[in-house]
Structure 1
Amino acid sequence: MKKLTLFFAFLFLAACQDGGFDAAQTGSAANKNTATTEAKNTSNTSIIGGIDVEPGSDISRTVISFKSLVKPLDTQVGSQNVVVTQCTAAALTRRVVLTAAHCINAENQSFIELNTGVTVTTIPVLKAVIIDEYHTDPTADLALAVLSEDLPENIITVSIPNPDMKVELATLDLIAAGYGKNTDVVAAAPGSTLKDGLGTLRVVILKISFYEFAENRFMVDQSSGRGFCQGDSGGPAFFIHNSKYYVMGVASKTIAPEGQTDASTGHCSFRGAYVNLLKFKKWIEATTQTLTAELASPPNSEPVSESSP
């Protein structure tokens, strides 16, 4: 699932066994949460097949807009629109956010946007760490980004579930949200005015179609026309358990039916691949701890993008 470039070009997304989970059923507890209830009120007409999320809601405080400049800002002065890529993220701490590796621009500034419905706040990324495995295996599409300042207190942080949690994957409602397209049609040419809904947070409920604890990614069924699409890269697939938010996956890639040759449509309406965060839980937690410790050192004024140690 490649990042989507706003304004000038459209790119494709570059966006069951229960593994370590116990087979006990806990779906009813999650369904009582307002975020899950909100996500279930979906329609087929308007992530694709989902609904717009209101600023201030639980989901809007959990899912973050993640962008990167395509070119240095000083080269875009005078342009009508600043050209950026649109991705999505979620917060692990007040300073560390989780996203897809392919959303990180190694050369130009990345930043997040927080929209309250009245104001939009921008926070730059100081440093990004891409998991080493991604350089040899694109299915390990995972990165952590350190922000230049703390997130507001109202932002909801997420956790990676423990492998022994009593969750039944076959019936689990995954809340998928992102700032990507709401149509499964690609613009005919760069600069097209196709209304694709980029930059608006949407949410939908998805089901896991295949999961293996040892695999780098798991699949969700998007054949009903509901799921993530361009611009949703890096977005979380999460659930609520005992009033706590757990993220199972990071949106990585959409998969078209085998043999499909027409790239103009249908690339988000078959299957979606999420990075399996249970597989990478130890790396995420260890790297988050290291990055948090580094924040106690003198701040680095220059944005840095690097691989993990």
Structure 2
Amino acid sequence: MDLRKLMAGVLILCSGCGLAIQTHENQDISGNGSIINGTPVEERVSDAAKSVVLIEMHDIQGRPLTICTATLIGPNTVLTAAHCFDKTRMRAFGGFNVIFTNNYLKTYGNALKLKGLRMALHGSYNSTKMYDHDIALGTFKGEVPEGYEPVDYDSDKAANYAHQTVYSYGFGKSQDYTGKRGERGHEYVGVLHRGVLKVAGNYNSYSDRYFLDPSTSVFICSGDSGGPQFFHEDGVLKVIGVHSAVYGTKLDNGFTSCKGRGQVTKVAPFAQWIRETESKLLTN
């Protein structure tokens, strides 16, 4: 698969997503997001669900700009996608909050919101302009509320998850774009969904990322950016991937359909970077 040829239709999952709070500079980036054909999460009963949070990017006045999904991997640390913190895509960026909710719009103003302190994007992020190395960490101030817990992340660089079933979580658009002019669809954004997907067979084609099998009929979309993909086997649960992008069809209204090949950043190759970077963020 020649991914460079597909970039003309690529949907980057975060930039411009969410509430249409602000229009960002890259108009080819489709807005809004949640797992298409997934199931709404109403109760945090599983270890996986207990680790998923929403991150809200805001301007210097504290006004919300957009949202992404993230995973608690420590008491004050979240794992997410680097493009969620990419200031070149979001020039009004002033900071971020970590929000504990199942429904962003319904509970906005009432949900627990903890202030983001520091963030770190991988040093090779987007070095090939293919959203490679699309991984980041953020730290925040305060205590995680009851019912939420950090989860383990993958460190097995030799593992091959080709054709394996994974469990994904994300906030945002639960219905795909139709292509109609003037379409907004913000009512479909910000509700936590869970989806069951399958890893494509070419897992080892890239050292830093893998792709999803689009035949499963469940798709990630913008707002799912940075969200986790869990692998659960023999009682071991771990985050093996971070939602990064979708290669979909460009629609008549300029948006990109989420029904395409999803791109996910591998976690295991970055396990050492995660450990070292977390330590620096928490001690500096």
TM over 0.5: yes
Alignment of 1:39-58 (within 5 A): 47-58=35-46
- Out of 185, 203, 221, the residue aligned to residue 177 of structure 2 is 185
Aligned position for 2:124: 133
More moved, 111-120 vs 147-156: 111-120
Aligned position for 1:169: 161
C-alpha distance in structure 2 between counterparts of 1:254 and 1:164, whole Å = 24
Cα gap change, 1:277 to 1:164, in 2 (>3 Å): closer
TM value normalised by structure 2: 0.77
SS class of match (1:73): coil
Q: Deviations over 1:125-153 (max 9, x none)?
A: 10001111015243111110011123235
C-alpha distance in structure 1 between counterparts of 2:238 and 2:252, whole Å = 36
C-alpha distance in structure 1 between counterparts of 2:212 and 2:244, whole Å = 12
Give the conservation status (yes or no) of the 8 Å contact 2:179–2:252.
no
Matched, 1:208 2:194: no
C-alpha distance in structure 2 between counterparts of 1:195 and 1:104, whole Å = 21
Give the conservation status (yes or no) of the 8 Å contact 1:160–1:248.
yes
How many angstroms does 1:256 deviate by? 1.8
C-alpha distance in structure 2 between counterparts of 1:13 and 1:220, whole Å = 21
How many angstroms does 1:277 deviate by? 1.1
Aligned position for 2:185: 194
C-alpha distance in structure 1 between counterparts of 2:142 and 2:118, whole Å = 12
Give the conservation status (yes or no) of the 8 Å contact 2:71–2:150.
yes
Structure 1 unpaired stretches of 5+: 16-45, 75-81, 295-309
Aligned position for 1:146: 139
Aligned position for 2:57: 68
Cα gap change, 1:243 to 1:201, in 2 (>3 Å): same
Matched, 1:7 2:23: no
SS class of match (1:251): strand
Matched, 1:124 2:105: no
Give the conservation status (yes or no) of the 8 Å contact 1:88–1:179.
yes
Alignment of 1:159-308 (within 5 A): 159-163=152-156, 169-185=161-177, 194=185, 196-209=187-200, 210-212=202-204, 215-256=207-248, 262=252, 267-294=257-284
C-alpha distance in structure 2 between counterparts of 1:72 and 1:63, whole Å = 26
Structure 2 unpaired stretches of 5+: 1-11, 88-92
Aligned letter for 1:88? T
C-alpha distance in structure 2 between counterparts of 1:171 and 1:135, whole Å = 26
Aligned letter for 2:70? A
Aligned letter for 2:268? L
* Structure of greater Rg: 1
C-alpha distance in structure 2 between counterparts of 1:116 and 1:202, whole Å = 9
Report % sequence identity. Answer: 25
C-alpha distance in structure 1 between counterparts of 2:127 and 2:163, whole Å = 33
Aligned letter for 1:163? D
Give the conservation status (yes or no) of the 8 Å contact 1:66–1:111.
yes
SS class of match (2:269): coil
- C-alpha RMSD of matched pairs (Å): 3.0
Aligned letter for 1:194? G
Matched, 1:93 2:74: yes
C-alpha distance in structure 1 between counterparts of 2:257 and 2:102, whole Å = 32
C-alpha distance in structure 1 between counterparts of 2:270 and 2:144, whole Å = 24
Q: Deviations over 1:75-118 (max 9, x none)?
A: xxxxxxx5420100001101110011111165412011112788
C-alpha distance in structure 2 between counterparts of 1:83 and 1:175, whole Å = 28
Aligned letter for 2:73? L
Aligned letter for 1:49? N
Give the conservation status (yes or no) of the 8 Å contact 1:157–1:245.
no
- Out of 109, 120, 123, the residue aligned to residue 95 of structure 2 is 109
* Equivalenced residues, count: 252
Give the conservation status (yes or no) of the 8 Å contact 1:13–1:253.
no
Aligned letter for 1:64? V
Q: Deviations over 1:24-67 (max 9, x none)?
A: xxxxxxxxxxxxxxxxxxxxxx9101110013332441211111
TM value normalised by structure 1: 0.71
Give the conservation status (yes or no) of the 8 Å contact 2:162–2:199.
yes
